[in-house]
Amino acid sequence: MTGHDSPATARRRGRRVFLVLAAAATVVLTGAVVWLAQRDAGSGVAEASAPAPAPKTAEIRRTDLVTRERVDATITPVGEAVLTGRRAGTVTALPAPGAVIDRGQPVYSVDAVGVPLFFGTVPMYRELHEGVPEGPDVRVLQENLAALGHRPGPVDGIFGKPTEAAVRRWQREREVEQTGRVAVGEVVVAPQAQQVQSVTAALGDPATGELMTLSGVGRQVAMRLPLELRGLVSVGMKVQIELLGGRTTPGTVSAIHPPTATGRGGAQQDPDAAGEQAVPVTFGIDDPAAVGPADPTAVTIAFETARRDGVLAVPVQALLALREGSYGLEVIRDGVRDLVAVEVGVFADGLVEVTGPEIAEGMAVVTAS
């Protein structure tokens, strides 16, 4: 069988090829097994050696805790009130909105005669002249004449010769008739310098109508306090005024008014009327410069309701609820985590007061695992 392999030769060659392929396959499989074993062994070592994440901790610290009740309020002009004229005649001059009027300066004019501002809390309710019965309105007149440099004599509420002479000097300075008398409506009385908020009258109007809205210079905070919170406030107490943007400034309760009811639309009603009862409260702003003219008028008043000074406190997140309503902390001592029982007190600003025999200032507590 020339040129061709014999059947036996062919069978031998086939067996050799098969044996070579089988040996190669064995080497490949053995390598794969070795590689997989090494990979798995390496993964096992890596996983076994990965440390557990460290817990988040905080220190037990000594601090002051204050809890507060917060109520919405509004910044308003100080002592805003509508001025109604009491002197017959025609309005001949009016101030511009925003104008500030000081003692002795005219607020408006009637028949070309200025009606000046006096400081006081009692209005001129009668004509004043020599011999008029003693009264608080006379004292207001004397105080203002003295402040304007006209020497009315003793400031005692008695209208005598010295006061009459002082009135004449004041009238001469104003270039008006020197009668020695002060008629009803000849002056406007207010507790302090006034700022014109708005003007409702027009030149030529009768002078006995509504003329303008005045307020004190500066601003205050006004609130309608829910009746159930009335016990939180007293005149003179300090509060915290919280402005938009997170700023705060101190304030003082300046006045507490009788309760009124709020009807639909927020209108105040008679206290016996239907509606939610509330107590109007006003607050002085201790640092007027802290509230700029561009600041929003919506603010919040924070009343202090409880205070604990120099207590141990932790973040609220560190507190653990235990059985039967008790609480605990997970403390770390010498690298070991241990659960200890504590008593809780005041909660304030994300902190809670804690006490217990197994805790101390500076000790680390777990806040999150």
109 and 175 inside one domain: yes
For 219-244, how does the pLDDT look when each residue is reduced to its tens digit (9 = 90+)?
Answer: 999 999 999 999 989 999 999 999 98
244 and 300 inside one domain: yes
Instruction: Identify the domain boundary among 169, 187, 208.
Output: 208
For 34-76, how does the pLDDT look when each residue is reduced to its tens digit (9 = 90+)?
Answer: 332 344 444 444 455 566 677 899 999 999 999 989 999 999 9
What is the domain count for the chain? 4
203 and 125 inside one domain: yes
**Are 333 and 327 within 8 A, CB to CB?**
no
103 and 201 inside one domain: yes
111 and 204 inside one domain: yes
Task: Tell me which residue of 293, 97, 283, 119 sits closest to 195, measured CA to CA.
Answer: 97
> In angstroms, rounded to a whole number, what is the distance separating the alpha carbons of residues 349 and 342?
20
Residue 112 lies in a domain: yes
**Mean pLDDT for the stretch of residues 299-323:** 93
Residue 275 lies in a domain: yes
Task: Tell me which residue of 280, 313, 367 sits closest to 67, measured CA to CA.
Answer: 313
CA atoms within a 13 Å half-sphere pointing along the CA-CB vector of 52? 4
CATH code, domain carrying 347: 2.40.420.20
User: Could you tell me the CA-to-CA distances from 4 to 1, 10, 16, 17, 150 in Å, in that order?
Assistant: 6, 9, 18, 18, 150
CA atoms within a 13 Å half-sphere pointing along the CA-CB vector of 97? 8
Q: Residue 154: which domain range?
A: 86-208
Give the pLDDT band of residue 264 (cuts 50, 70, 90): very low
Residue 170 lies in a domain: yes
- Within 8 A by CB and 6+ apart from 98, the residues are 195, 196
Length of the chain, in residues = 369
**Mean pLDDT for the stretch of residues 289-293:** 85
For 131-145, how does the pLDDT look when each residue is reduced to its tens digit (9 = 90+)?
Answer: 999 999 999 999 999
Q: Given the DSSP bridges, would you call strands 327-333 and 364-368 parallel, antiparallel or unpaired?
A: antiparallel
Task: Tell me which residue of 217, 218, 279 sits closest to 253, measured CA to CA.
Answer: 279
Residue 47 lies in a domain: no
Residue 346 lies in a domain: yes
DSSP 96: P
327 and 297 inside one domain: no
Query: Mean pLDDT, the chain, as a whole number?
Result: 85
**Mean pLDDT for the stretch of residues 279-308:** 91
Residue 45 lies in a domain: no
Predicted pLDDT at 29:
31
Q: What's CA 144's distance to the chain center, in Å? A: 38
Task: Concatenate the DSSP letters of all residues of 205-264 into one string.
Answer: SBTTSEEEEEEEEEEEEEEEEEGGGGGG--TT-EEEEE-TTS-EEEEEEEEEPPPEEE-G
